[in-house]
Structure 1
Amino acid sequence: MPALSPTMEMGNIGAWSKKVGDKIEPGDVLVQIETDKAQMDFEYQDYGYLAKILVEEGSKDVPIEKEPQVEVEVETEQPTQQTESAQTIAQSVTKTDRIFASPVARMLSKEHNIPLETIKGTGPKGRILKEDVNRFLTTRQEQKPQVTEEKAAPQKKAAPAQTPTPAQTPVQAAYTDIPNSNMRKVIAKRLTEAKTTTPHYYLTSNVNFDAILKLRADLNASANGKFKLTVNDLIVKAAACALRAVPAVNSSWNDEYIRQYHHADIAIATSTPTGLITPIVTSVDTKGLETISSEIKSLAARAKENKLMPHEYQGGSFAISNLGMYHITSFSAIINPPHSAILAVGTVEPKLVPDSTSEKGFSVINSLTFTLSADHRVVDGATGAQFLSALKSYIENPMSMLL
């Protein structure tokens, strides 16, 4: 199993695009592999014929190898010899004493202390499958001698009649065990490492959101249906401008140096049916709102369909997590390494504020709460405060970020 992403430790085997005996050339798609983040086509980079498939379609949690090789035997084509037919090469594979079994079958046989050589495999080339192990267990259970219940001795006195009881209600299971996907395992591992090894601190700021809501309404009205900006699109742009103003936050930690990025590559936390993923909008500081909005929509759609390419969700220099649509007032997010900060966005709420120009002495504004989680190794408290101050300025004076 090849490592198709830096965080990948195991993968699932999807559909094989080639069958035993097929000729393979560089660039041919050999098999689909489900990584911790997406499902990808694995392309073979040599000439030859597929001689044997060692890991069957649908196999789960196949560990990666240090060298990027799929578990498949390929009979290499010799350029100086006449090419044999696919059928001849498929039949010429040398037989060994190795017992072929799926990972699940091996696990079950080990769990029940069953030697693999005692099980007859029904898979390709006699491969032992999970069903073969279960069939063996069932047969063994049926062959066990039945214990005959001893006949009770006759009673001298009949026992008193018992009052019949109503039929018992079937007992409902108390819980359901849901297997962890590769993505969920990686999320758990990475966030645990981030929370335990990165010295987080948190800063919170409330901003007046009236001006940016008005700008969004005006821009959408002038677009005549060509595009429709979201609140999040404007927040992403404002964050990029703030990163440009306070570049120390647009950085990552290394034991020997701090890497400061020249552009704001912002990862947008996106919920999918299989877990959280962070597709990246690159160079947000150089792009207009229409482009930013289009790219966010495209990345989010493909993330939910599990179709992102590795370069679209790996890396980045900063992250934003927005839960405002769920009416969350405020929250603190966990930093996603190698980023040094993540911005948590709450919901827009009405708020009373003092207003000397009003007859009532107060007015109602639309308020929003930002919470910055920062890595104290990279971003000092004062630097984090400067970033939130710059962000507040762009949000409350949004025309300045369009200049």
Structure 2
Amino acid sequence: MATELTLPALSAGMEDAVIAAWLVGPGDRVEKGQPLAEVETDKATMELEAEAPGRVGRLAVKAGTRADVGQVIAVLLAEGETLPAPAPEAAASAPAPAPASAPAAMAPAMGPAAEPDRPRASPLARRLATQAGLTLDGLSGSGPKGRIVRVDIERLIASAPKETTAEPAPEPTTATAPIPPGLGPYEARPVSQMRRTIARRLVEAKQTIPHFYLEAEADLEALLTLRTQVNDGREGAARISVNDFIVKAAARALARLPEANVIWRGDELWQLSTIDIAVAVATDGGLMTPILRGADRMSLGTLSAEMKDLAARARAGSLKPEEYQGGGFSVSNLGMYGVRSFSAIVNPPQSCILAAGAAERRPMGRGDQIVLAPVMSLTLSVDHRSVDGALGAQLLAEIRKGLEDPMSLLL
């Protein structure tokens, strides 16, 4: 029996992805567990494996094309089976028809069963329809079992009559936004899946989270001296970085103030049992935040080695979803770029993110004297719904204390 292969949800909240490359072609024999395609999600490129043996009958989605979660992307045939000819009507609307009763070889992450009077549609299709002011009633989808998917909404928008009174979409893309007057020559580049997700989450964070910001300065004289001693004789890859000390100081501060290790959940406040720190890493595709699980329980050397491994795999796009999803606190350090200070955007559902700037020699008071010392600016961005000002100030003070007394971080 022909088997429909649908795009599963490879990470939490995933609505669609790009089929970056097919690793098989029509007619190829595949075994269970064999990689079929490379799929570009919002954070990484992952291999999609066959969950049943068979022969490739059809590839329904071209390489480089975006597909919705639950959408049929290929059809597998049993031994000796031929691909049924599509019905004339279905061929005009559906890119890859297959028997509706065929079992799925890959478990699609479908949403809850549709209500009796509610059209079946993917979350992305519903969001696009809402933005365009369209109703899904009476619309027949081209997805599995008539499910309405992104391409159906795009076709509906393209075929709809243009009216000057229509409300504009809340999030206009470069394709529909007017070109600013006086703009010089430019090159239009497609937006990657990762960049689209980053943009959506940042807009959501700034619009829904009531941010407030706390600033402090830390004297790093003792830290830099200790770092030199610790790194004496270490090879380049094993050297401890200033950022390692910052992450360790944040983890220790959260251990001492567990009431700040929380996330806002509307009617509930979730107290996290473990201290998991997300650390911002710049990659070619955009910012990623791999997670150091149980950072407070790690030695500085273990933390440093784990962070280097996560950062390398983040840049290579080979992190697993569980390695970049979650976390209760974030650290972003732009000091290596010469940035003196900045305010970061809270990464939902977390409550805080620490922004660290460059260590610069500035006048600093030590007792009755003013000396030139390496000073780092620290800015804590806080979700005021879950963490109050006093608690945020205590947390930042604990982080600063750890950086100015770095020996305490080695204990």
Output the TM-score relative to the length of structure 1.
Answer: 0.75
Structure 1 residue aligned with 2:357: 346
Structure 2 residue aligned with 1:21: 27
Determine helix, strand or coil for the equivalent of 1:378.
coil
The answer on 1:260 being equivalent to 2:271 is: yes
Structure 1 residue aligned with 2:386: 378
Structure 1 residue aligned with 2:188: 177
Structure 1 residue aligned with 2:231: 220
Percent identity over paired residues: 41
Cα distance in 1, alignment partners of residues 235 and 219 from structure 2: 27
Measure how far apart 1:258 and its partner are: 1.4
Cα distance in 2, alignment partners of residues 224 and 58 from structure 1: 42
The answer on 1:245 being equivalent to 2:249 is: no
Deviation string for 1:185-222 (max 9, x for gaps)? 11111111111111111101111111111111110015
Measure how far apart 1:19 and its partner are: 2.6
- Decide whether the 8 Å contact of 2:281 with 2:287 is kept in 1: yes
Q: 1:52 to 1:224 in 2, by over 3 A?
A: closer
Structure 2 residue aligned with 1:274: 285
Q: 1:356 to 1:27 in 2, by over 3 A?
A: closer
Q: 1:370 to 1:354 in 2, by over 3 A?
A: closer
Determine helix, strand or coil for the equivalent of 1:371.
strand
Cα distance in 1, alignment partners of residues 382 and 318 from structure 2: 30
Q: 53, 74, 84: which is aligned to 1:93? A: 84
Q: 1:199 to 1:111 in 2, by over 3 A?
A: closer
Deviation string for 1:341-395 (max 9, x for gaps)? 00000110112134456xxx42211111110011111111110011111111111
Structure 1: gaps (5+ residues): 78-82, 114-171
The answer on 1:391 being equivalent to 2:382 is: no
Cα distance in 2, alignment partners of residues 322 and 348 from structure 1: 11
Deviation string for 1:155-206 (max 9, x for gaps)? xxxxxxxxxxxxxxxxx96222222111111111111111111111110111
Measure how far apart 1:34 and its partner are: 0.7
Cα distance in 1, alignment partners of residues 95 and 54 from structure 2: 25
Measure how far apart 1:10 and its partner are: 2.0
Measure how far apart 1:111 and its partner are: 6.7
Determine helix, strand or coil for the equivalent of 2:390.
helix
Cα distance in 2, alignment partners of residues 252 and 107 from structure 1: 36
Determine helix, strand or coil for the equivalent of 2:238.
coil
Cα distance in 2, alignment partners of residues 354 and 210 from structure 1: 13
Aligned positions, number: 326
Bigger radius of gyration, 1 or 2?
Answer: 1
Cα distance in 2, alignment partners of residues 224 and 274 from structure 1: 29
Measure how far apart 1:36 and its partner are: 1.1
Q: 304, 308, 315: which is aligned to 1:293? A: 304
Q: Which moved more, 1:262-271 or 1:46-55?
A: 46-55
Output the TM-score relative to the length of structure 2.
Answer: 0.73
Cα distance in 2, alignment partners of residues 192 and 388 from structure 1: 26
Structure 1 residue aligned with 2:50: 44
- Decide whether the 8 Å contact of 1:55 with 1:72 is kept in 2: yes
Measure how far apart 1:398 and its partner are: 1.1
Cα distance in 2, alignment partners of residues 224 and 48 from structure 1: 50
- Decide whether the 8 Å contact of 2:60 with 2:72 is kept in 1: no
Cα distance in 1, alignment partners of residues 254 and 46 from structure 2: 33
Structure 2: gaps (5+ residues): 1-6, 97-149, 161-182
- Decide whether the 8 Å contact of 2:300 with 2:409 is kept in 1: no
Cα distance in 2, alignment partners of residues 356 and 314 from structure 1: 44
Cα distance in 2, alignment partners of residues 203 and 26 from structure 1: 54
- Decide whether the 8 Å contact of 2:67 with 2:73 is kept in 1: no
The answer on 1:317 being equivalent to 2:328 is: yes
